[in-house]
């Protein structure tokens, strides 16, 4: 696997120690946590394996031009991997054994983060989203702007693959508090919506806000499990699960054979919004199994086929 040279990391940390922050991403059997965040050039991403059972990788998929790619083992023998970020832009990465393509999209144990440049054209003091009868109310405030052209509001239903939904002209140059508002009237029928704000400078420099998650209670159904794959599965396969959570908690999983015998039981961490995780099943006999998923008051039952 490719590795960033230790000397480079030491030198980089020495140069950037006055302003760099260390952002920890937990690598466990239940995925990457957090799955989406914002960093600045000069920060260090610390990938920390927390177990308890399987080995993983943290492997870059798409990164900004000029950034260093990485492919690092994450397990008992190498629990920590440091990645210093030197280029602004969007970073998308995966765990190689626990990510797969579904309908042309890489899903499973995947995550992403956005890196802002060191010199920021705006000081954003607040960025909030709230649900009303009309739609999503988006509001933000700045106390400093320098050569800012406009703001772009981007939205996603999965904390990735964001799309622009609006552009708002900025004050441009200001040292006074500025307040901006926008209403998103056209809400898709998804249980959760993710919003972020992009500041675009006159020279094209961009700055990303933190991502805000919103419970879309106007149109969303209460569906808990959004994807189970592969199904049918072969012996030894991991079962990839995508699920939505209206509250933080534990997703309880029970697997029974057709005679009602419990053959597998586990719990997965659930954070508000969309979650991706996987189950390492025992060596099951071929046949049909009943999988019961429950989180709070919500319970759903599915059939799982093992070849």
Residues 180, 280 within the same domain: no
Same domain, 209 and 230: no
**pLDDT tens per residue, range 23-56:** 999 998 888 999 889 998 889 999 999 877 778 9
What is the arithmetic mean of pLDDT over 127-141?
94
pLDDT at 139 over 60: yes
| Same-domain pairing of 156 and 84 | no
Q: Which residue has the higher pLDDT, 162 or 140?
A: 140
The answer to whether position 1 is within a domain reads no
Q: What is the mean pLDDT of residues 73-97?
A: 90
201 and 283 inside one domain? no
- Does the structure show a pLDDT above 50 at 16? no
The residues with which 70 forms a beta bridge, in sequence order, are: none
User: Does the pLDDT of residue 252 top 80, yes or no?
Assistant: yes
Q: Is the dihedral of CA 105, 109, 114, 115 positive or negative?
A: negative
Instruction: Give residue 158's domain range.
Output: 122-215
CB 178, CB 141: distance < 8 Å: yes
41 and 80 fall within a common domain = yes
Say yes or no: 207 and 229 in one domain. Answer: no
One domain for residues 251 and 292: yes
Domain shared by 104 and 145, yes or no: no
Residues 235 and 286 in one domain: yes
Tell me the C-alpha to C-alpha distance, in Å, between residue 206 and each of 50, 209, 301, 306: 34, 10, 45, 48
User: In CATH, what number is assigned to the domain containing residue 23?
Assistant: 2.60.40.420
Number of structural domains in the chain? 3
**pLDDT > 70 in the chain, percent:** 91
Domain boundary among 116, 134, 153: 116
Q: 166 and 186 in one domain?
A: yes
Give residue 244's pLDDT: 85
Instruction: Centre a 10 Å sphere on the Cβ of residue 146 and count the other Cβ atoms it contains.
Output: 15
Region 243-261: mean pLDDT is 90
Domain termination residue (choose one: 116, 147, 170): 116
pLDDT single digits (tens) 186-201:
888 888 899 999 999 9
The fraction of the chain above a pLDDT of 90, given in percent, is 47
Residues 206-248 pLDDT 10s: 888 888 988 887 666 668 898 888 889 888 778 888 888 888 8
pLDDT surpassing 80 at residue 11? no
- Considering the domain boundaries, does residue 37 fall inside one? yes
Band of pLDDT at residue 277, cut at 50, 70 and 90 = confident
The verdict on pTM exceeding 0.75 is no
**Looking at the structure, do residues 68 and 93 belong to the same domain, yes or no?**
yes
The reply to whether 132 and 209 lie within a common domain is: yes
């Amino acid at each position: 696997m490719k590795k960033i040279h230790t000397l480079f990391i030491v030198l980089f940390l020495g140069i950037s120690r006055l302003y760099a922050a260390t952002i920890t991403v937990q690598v466990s059997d239940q995925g990457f946590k957090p799955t989406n965040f914002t960093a600045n050039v000069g920060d260090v991403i610390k990938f920390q394996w927390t177990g308890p059972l399987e080995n993983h990788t943290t492997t870059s998929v798409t990164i900004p031009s000029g950034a260093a790619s990485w492919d690092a083992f994450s397990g008992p023998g190498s629990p920590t991997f440091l990645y210093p970020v030197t280029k602004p832009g969007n970073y998308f990465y995966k765990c190689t054994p626990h990510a797969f393509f579904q309908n042309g999209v890489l899903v499973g144990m995947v995550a992403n983060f956005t890196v802002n440049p060191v010199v920021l054209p705006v000081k954003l003091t607040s960025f909030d989203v709230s649900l009303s009868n009309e739609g999503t109310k988006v509001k933000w405030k700045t106390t400093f702007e320098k050569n800012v052209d406009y703001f772009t509001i981007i939205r996603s239903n999965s904390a990735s693959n964001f799309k622009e939904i609006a552009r708002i002209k900025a004050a441009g140059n200001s040292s006074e508090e500025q307040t901006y508002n926008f209403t998103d009237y056209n809400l898709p029928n998804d249980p959760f919506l993710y919003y972020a704000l992009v500041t675009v400078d006159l020279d094209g420099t961009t700055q990303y806000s933190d991502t805000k998650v919103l419970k879309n209670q106007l149109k969303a159904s209460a569906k808990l499990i959004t994807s189970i794959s592969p199904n049918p599965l072969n012996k030894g396969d991991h079962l990839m699960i995508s699920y939505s959570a209206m509250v933080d908690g534990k997703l309880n999983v029970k697997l029974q054979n057709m005679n009602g015998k419990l053959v597998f039981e586990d719990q997965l961490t659930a954070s508000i919004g969309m979650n991706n995780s996987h189950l390492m099943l025992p060596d099951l006999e071929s046949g049909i199994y009943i999988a019961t998923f429950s989180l709070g008051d919500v319970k759903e039952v599915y059939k799982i086929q093992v070849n």
